Structure 1
Amino acid sequence: MFKLNLKIALRNLWRNRGITSINVGGLAIALAAFILVVMYFTYETSFDKSNPNYKNIYVVGRIYPDFKTNYTSPPLVKAIKQNFPEVVRAGITKNGTFELALKNEGRTTFIKSFMYSDYEAARILNLNPSTGLQKPKGESEFFFYLNKESMRAIFPNKKDEKPEMVSMGSSTSGHTGMITGSIVNDLHSNINFDALSIASELGKGENYGYNNYNTYIQVKPGTDVANLEQKITDLYRKELLKGETDQKTIEEIKSISTFLDPLSNLHLRPKAGNDAPYKILFALSVLGVLILVIACINFTNLSIAQATKRAKEVGVKKVMGAYRFQLTTQFLTEIFLQCFAATIFALILAELALPYFNNLFQINLSIWTIENNLFWQLPLILCLITLIAGTYPSLVLSGFKPALVLKGNFATSKQSSWLRNGLLVFQFSIAVIFIIGLLIINSQLKYMRTQDLGFTANQVVYIKNITYFNKPENFAPLRDKILKIDGIKAATVATDVPDGAENGSNGYTFEGVQASIDFVDVDFDYFETLDIKLKQGRFFSPSFSTDTVNSAVINESAVAKYGMKNPIGKTIKGCNTDYKIVGVIKDFKAQGFESIVQPTIYSIKNPCGNPKLQIMLKIEENKMASALATLKSQWPRINPKDGEDFRYEFLDELYGKLFKKQEQLQSVFFAAALLTIFIAILGLFAFAKYITNGRIKEIAVRKILGASDIQIFKLINSSFFIMVLVANVISWPVAYILTKKWLETFAYRIDLPVLPFISSALITILLTIITVSIQAKRAVKANPVDALKYE
């Protein structure tokens, strides 16, 4: 019986190879896109799962009234260890602040991300060097590991795991260090580094004011995390309140709390951070599912449309004793064969598209690895789409009444007609949503690229550097040497560059009002180099000796934060310093468009600040190449610690990386819009062919009675035109809500435009008219005699 059903299935598929090709082709394209989405979803949701304690690891963070942060201080981790028995381990890590050059026998590797970890944090995070994780003895001992790639770069012939000596910084600096061994840099982890230093303890002697560490804890399975979170908050407040007598400060401390963020959250949606990756993944997953649903709708629609051709077959089989279950199985077998063929083609298409997909998302996925879970996901997907696409058509086909269909007067029911039309409307509704989404994403990205940032990133070069220039007198000789190079107009150094990274923050008090605001430590010419606009007062100047002691410049947001009136000359207190405000600058979007400009204070001297490492130069555009070449040749003399290791990046390119996630979303929506339109038009083309063929005699009669070609075209197109119009009307509110919510994730955004909604309607209606008219042309141009001669 199975052999007979298989033979009938193959014959039917071959006889209707046009429709079969459309079914298999549309499903294969959609399934290829869905396979890529499933692989990406699996990859993104499995970060750090190789850690055996994955489910019991948490990051400890702090919550202030106006912000959250993952940064904590070393004393907190000690207090947690001592007070909470449900915490199995607790440790801290800290990231390095600069890019370090390591050298050995003429070979150089650059350590771009450096991490310090205490022994307990290394155990929690499952950091296993090739020689095994060992605890350093005493306070002064530490182990220094390079990732496998960096180790191979400077020791290409190394076969053992013995320690090696390397030079650090320039070849003339005289600094050396011992590499203890190598460690695998797990790219599928949030804990990522080029080099790792493990010490027995970090942050000894530092108090609760040194909030530049990450605290990790491992709890016992079954721990009440919410209860532990509250207990850590109580402990933290108690520690901060020790010795505090000022009532206002006490009230402020009581408003501070802590949170525990699972390790599983860190990659996609950290409590203190940007959840753009999660939004991108969610949007991509929904798109993948919808594209597959649209393809399955096509399949269902065309299978129902073909029902009349199989009616007599069903009638004869039922008369011969076939049960409905047997017929349902037969039709499901046919559909399964088509879905199986579509899956094979989908794998081929996915393999061809994978390099472009990997390049877009900067990942390295592969179809032919067991880690991506396709070996069990794909059979499940195949069975699922067979049931989704085939169940209803199989029930319709197997449910025909023999007495009716064998008389030759069978016609599909109104219920089937409504279902076909409804599915077609649904298809086009999804396509319209994708088109509107794409057009609005394009508008927002255009706005972001053309909007005034408040500073000029063009022609600014960021020089990577390892020398501290905390005092202006240390940087002045270097600035003088740099400015002698033809084409360089300005030079400065600061703790941060405006590339989207978060600044440090601290508590500052103005006229009795205390608030936590960002701080950036700068040097002379910082604002001039970045072409930041002055609103009131003045910039820092060597002409004023107090500028290097206690002068400050604040931005407009800081003025608004404190409700300042006439702030110039007034005092703002913080970091044990009474700062005199000498200038107010206009807000500029250092953190991009998703975050509102933070209240910020700029000073030359800041006891709480980070090292000033980031050198920025303003260079004339037509002299950029020659100036950079001169800098490279003279860098060993200008900045001996860096020596021959001259490295730079263009600030506009650094800032442009802030748009990366939205550009990914734009590319995804562009591909999704094309796919959904293509699949919908493919189904519409076949459906229009079926409808036109069913009305061939009606068209012939109308032509004989004098109907013109235009009238017939209008007749055939009218029903499809109405369906597409209905699809637009249905999809507009949905698209409005979705795009409005997406735009609300930006602090600076466009107003929701009307044009994309009108454009989507025009595009879909035009494509529908063209598609249906191409199909109708043959029926319109046919000789009426040929259609009526057998009547």
Structure 2
Amino acid sequence: MFKLNLKIALRNLWKNRGITSINVGGLAVALAAFILVTLYANYETSFDKKNPNYDQIYIVGRILPDLKTNYTPPPFGKAIKDNLPEVENVGVTKVGGFEFAISSNGATIFTKNLLRLDYNAAKMFNINPTGGLNKPAGDERLFYLSKENMDGLFPNKKDNKPELVSLGSKSAGQTATVQGAVINDKHSNITFDALSIANVLGEGENYGYNNYNTYIQVKEGTDIANLEQKITAMYRAELVKGETDKSVLERVKEVSVFLDPLKNLHLRPKAGTDANYKILITLSVLGLLILVIACINFTNLSIAQATKRAKEVGVKKVMGAFRFQLTIQFLLEIFMQCVVATVLGLIIAEIILPQFNNLFLVDLAIWRMDNVLIWQLPLILLFITLIAGVYPAMVLSGFKPAVVLKGNFTTSKQSYWLRNSLLVVQFSIAVIFITGLLIISSQLKYMRSQDIGFSANQVVYIKNIAYFTNPKDFEPIRDRIMKIEGVKSATVASGIPDGSENGTNGYTVEGKEANIDFLDIDFDYFETLNIKLKEGRFFSKDFNTDTASSAILNESAIAKYGLKNPIGKIIRGCRTDYKIVGVIKDFKTQGFETAIQPTIYTMKNPCGNSKLEIMLKVDESRMSEVLATLKSQWSDINKKDGDNFRYQFLDELYGKLFQKQEQLQSVFFAAAILTILIAMLGLFAFAKYITNGRIKEIAVRKILGANDLQIFKLINSSFFVLVMIANLISWPLAYILTKKWLETFAYRIEMPILPFILSAVITISLTIITVSIQARNAVKANPVDALKYE
């Protein structure tokens, strides 16, 4: 029986190979998209899952009145371990502040991500160097490189012996011993290209140094909410030790601690951005919707062909076939198509995968032994078989022999309404994608055309390892650089406007204290970036106090403190009284998603970060000449950096802030194309079925005098109504979804009307073209051919 059903299925599929190809092709394309999304979702949701302590590790964060951050002071971890028995282990880490060169006798590599951590953190995160993890002796620091970097420096190394390397410029004579290599798991929140492991990090630093990350490993069954309360109470007690100032004591009451599980850190951290999570959710929904559209196509076309299979069902039932046998037969046909679609989908996914990896900066692969897609794929196949096939199989197997064998059988009104409803759903999803794509494109265009408040064009960012915290240290470097023809200005700062977060601290003006960002800069910082002055003046060498006790605030900081006539007023922070000498206009250092932060700019800050970031404004016409000169003279200009001259263009770095939104735009573009393609394929086949069913009606109308235009209008009218209904349904949904997306931006466009109109024009135009192409043969046919047997 199975063999007979298989033969019948194959013959029916071949007989209707046009519809079969559309069904299989649409499903294959949709499955390829869904497979890629599934791969990406598996990757994004499995960060750090290989860590045996995955469920017990939490990062300790602080909640301040104006800030939520994962940065904590180094002694905090020791206090937690000593006082709370629920905590099994505590580890402290700190990310290195700059990129530096490491050289062997034959090669040089650059470490961009030096991770410092204590021995407990290394154990917690399962750091396993070649030769095993050793505990540092006393104040010793063990230095390791990632396996990629180690292989780059010592490609022929066969043993696990330590190696001597040069750090920074070779002429500086600074060396270090590399103990071994560590595999850098890029599928982890703890990534690095070099490691420095110590017994204790931040020794001697107090609770004012909030630039470390503290991780705790709790015992199983620990009440996390209760533990948070205990750590908060302990932290407040540490902050008020020896403090008598009532205002400080009151402010400490507003400070609290949170614990964020390791499994949240990549997608949904409590402190930080959840952009990865939003991209994942968007992709997952899009992938599922595309698959649903393909299944709707399948269902629609299967029901539409019901009349062709009616007599077959009637004869089989008269011969004694039961309904469940017929249901199994039709499900078998559908399953065979789904299997072929799955194979084709895998082939398409494999072809597209390199472009997908480039877009999302990942390294996904389908054919891996540890890939969970291997067991997910059969479930996906079963899912689409049931979704796309159960209803058509039930409809086909439910025909009554007495009705269908009379020869005047037509599908029920219920099937008619279902087909039309499914078509409306298809086009509604397509309209949402088209509208979303147009609105995303409008927001990106707005972001690229808006004045960001500073100019990154022709600004060269030079990577550097020399500290210039004291303005006098950078003065000779600036003088040498400014002698190069084409250099307009040069400056150094503790950060560059590339979306990076600045440090935050408490500052007081006229008795009002608030946490604001701070940035340590040098002369010509604002001039180099072409930042506009609102009132007062920039830092100047004509004023000796500028290098010690002058400050410039941005407009947001002035607004936060509610200052009027701020020039000359005193702002106190980091045990220093600063005189406000200028106010600059706000500029978007962190892009469009984050509001401009209140910021203070100083040249000397006891609590600040090291000034490492050198920026030059260069004449556009002499850029290549300037860069060549800098490279040849860098070992003399900046001896500590020596022959390791490296640079990037600031506008390129700032442009990376748009990367996530550009990814989203690409995803919506692909989704819109796929949904339109699948919907049009289904519409094409469906229009063919409808047109063929009205051949005699069309012939009669032509005999009675109807012209071609009237016939085209007749056939298109029903589809036009369906597409209009789809637009009316999808517009509110598209509005709600895109409005929520736009609300994630601090600076955004107003909701435009044009995308909604354009989506209607696009879908209606494509529908009319598709249906008209299919109807053309019926309209041009001779009426005699259709009516000669009547």
User: Equivalences for 1:298-337 in 2 at 5 Å?
Assistant: 298-337=297-336
Secondary structure of 1:248's partner? helix
Aligned to 1:517: 516
The corresponding residue for 1:504 is: 503
Q: Distance in 2 between matches of 1:414 and 1:737?
A: 34
Shift of 1:372: 2.5
2: CA distance, partners of 1:372 / 1:622: 52
Residues 447-475 of structure 1: CA deviation (Å, up to 9, x unaligned): 11111010000000000000000111110
Equivalent residues in 2 for 1:206-355 (5 A)? 206-355=205-354
1:109 and 2:97 aligned: no
CA distance in 1, matches of 2:749, 2:286: 24
Q: Secondary structure at the match of 1:583?
A: strand
- For residue 263 of structure 1, report the CA deviation from its aligned partner: 0.6
**Is the CA contact (8 Å cut-off) linking 1:699 and 1:780 kept in structure 2?**
yes
Could you say which residue in structure 1 is the equivalent of 2:536?
537
Q: Which amino acid aligns with 1:216?
A: Y
- Counting only pairs closer than 5 Å after superposition, residues 377-388 of structure 1 correspond to structure 2 as 377-388=376-387
- The match for 2:81 is 81
Matched residue, 1:15:
15
Equivalent-residue separation in structure 1 for 2:524 and 2:506 (angstroms): 26
**Equivalent residue for 1:676?**
675
Work out the CA distance in 2 between the residues paired with 1:370 and 1:8: 37
- Matched with 2:27 is 27
Measured against aligned partners, the alpha-carbon deviations of 1:706-744 in whole angstroms (never above 9, x if no partner) come to 111111111100000000000000000000000000000
Distance 1:70 1:370 in 2: 36
Deviation at 1:371, TM superposition (A): 2.6
User: What residue identity is the alignment partner of 1:41?
Assistant: A
Q: Which residue of 2 aligns with 1:769?
A: 768
Kindly provide the amino acid, as one letter, of the partner of residue 371 in structure 2. Answer: N
Measure, in 1, the Cα distance between the counterparts of 2:221 and 2:188. 24
Contact 1:43–1:372 (8 Å) recurs in 2: no
Summarize the alignment of residues 607-646 of structure 1 with structure 2, pairs less than 5 Å apart: 607-646=606-645
1:752 deviates by 0.7
1:545 aligned counterpart, secondary structure: coil
| Structure 1 partner of 2:193 | 194
Q: Determine helix, strand or coil for the equivalent of 1:150.
A: helix
Matching residue of 1:37:
37
Amino acid at match of 2:737: L
State TM-score, norm by structure 1.
0.99
Specify the alignment match of 1:716 in structure 2: 715
Match of 2:409 in 1: 410
- The CA distance in 2 between the partners of 1:407 and 1:668, in whole Å, is 52
State the match for 1:149 in structure 2. 148
In structure 1, what is the equivalent of residue 589 of structure 2? Answer: 590
Aligned partner letter, 1:118: D
2:362 paired residue number: 363
Distance 2:471 2:569 in 1: 24
| Distance in 2 (alpha carbons) for counterparts of 1:128 and 1:154 | 20
Distance 2:249 2:770 in 1: 72
SS state of the match for residue 370, structure 2?
helix
Classify the secondary structure of the residue corresponding to 2:172: coil
1:780 equivalent to 2:761? Answer no
Distance in 2 between the 1:142 and 1:569 partners? 47
Indicate the RMSD between aligned Cα atoms, in angstroms: 0.6
State the Cα deviation string for residues 138-158 of structure 1 (Å, max 9, x = none).
1x2121100011111111111
Give 1:163's aligned residue: 162
User: Are 2:130 and 1:130 equivalent residues in the alignment?
Assistant: yes
Specify the alignment match of 1:605 in structure 2.
604
Q: CA–CA distance in 2 between the matches of 1:28 and 1:733?
A: 30
CA distance in 1, matches of 2:501, 2:147: 30
Residue in structure 1 matched with residue 93 of structure 2 by the alignment: 93
What is aligned with 1:727?
726
> Any residues of structure 2 matched to 1:421-570 within 5 Å, and which?
421-570=420-569
- Please tell me the residue identity of whatever aligns with 1:455: F
Letter in 1 for 2:703: I
Q: Distance in 2 between matches of 1:270 and 1:251?
A: 28
Structure 2 unaligned spans of 5+: none
Aligned to 1:654: 653
- What is the SS of the residue equivalent to 1:519? strand
Partner of 1:466: helix, strand, or coil? coil
**CA displacement, residues 555-587 of structure 1 (integer Å, 9 cap, x when unaligned):** 000000000000000000000000000000000
Q: CA deviation at 1:83?
A: 1.3
Moved runs in structure 1, 4+ residues, more than 2 A?
none
Residue-by-residue CA offset, 1:210-246 (whole Å, 9 max, x unaligned): 0000000001111111111111111111111111211
State the secondary structure of the residue aligned to 1:143.
strand
- The 2-side partners of 1:394 and 1:316 are apart by 17
Secondary structure, in 3 states, of the residue corresponding to 1:449? Answer: helix
SS in 2 for 1:505: strand
CA contact (8 A) 1:60 1:261 kept: yes
Q: Which whole-Å CA distance do the structure 2 matches of 1:405 and 1:91 have between them? A: 76
- The code of the aligned residue for 2:103 comes to K
Distance between the aligned counterparts of 1:636 and 1:572, measured in 2? 40
- Cα distance per residue 1:65-87 (max 9 Å; x no partner): 22110000011101110111111
Contact 1:74 1:213 in 2 (8 A): yes
The answer (yes or no) to whether the contact 1:143–1:198 under 8 Å persists in 2 is: yes
Q: Distance in 2 between the 1:628 and 1:281 partners?
A: 41
Instruction: Find the aligned partners of 1:353 and 1:104 in 2 and give their Cα distance.
Output: 40
Q: Which amino acid aligns with 1:637?
A: D
Q: Distance in 2 between matches of 1:122 and 1:515?
A: 36
- Post-superposition CA distance 1:276-314 (Å, at most 9, x none): 110001000000000000000000000000000000000
Distance across 2 between alignment mates of 1:184 and 1:32? 32
Rounded Cα–Cα distance in structure 2 between residues aligned with 1:227 and 1:131 = 40
Corresponding residue for residue 695 of structure 1: 694
| Aligned equivalents of 1:302, 1:576: Cα separation in 2 | 76
Could you tell which deviates more after superposition, 217-226 or 337-346? 217-226
Structure 2: distance between partners of 1:714 and 1:156: 73
Residue identity in the other structure for 2:293: I
Give the match's secondary structure for 1:130. coil
What SS does the aligned partner of 2:91 have? strand
CA distance in 1, matches of 2:244, 2:679: 71
1:722 match: secondary structure = helix
1:6, distance to aligned residue in structure 2 (A): 0.3
Letter matched to residue 663 of structure 1: E
- CA offset digits 1:578-609 (Å, max 9, x no partner): 00000000000001110000000000010000
- Aligned-residue offset at 1:108: 0.4
The aligned amino acid for 1:115 is L
Q: Distance in 2 between matches of 1:327 and 1:129?
A: 62
One-letter identity of the residue aligned with 1:15: K
Q: Distance in 2 between matches of 1:563 and 1:758?
A: 45
User: Residues of 2 paired with 1:141 and 1:270: CA distance?
Assistant: 33
Specify the SS of the correspondent of 1:180: strand
Scaled by the length of structure 2, the TM-score of the pair is 1.00
SS at structure 1 position matched to 2:158: coil
Q: Which moved more, 1:274-283 or 1:243-252?
A: 243-252
Deviation of the 1:106 alpha carbon: 3.3
Secondary structure (helix, strand or coil) at the match of 2:327 reads helix
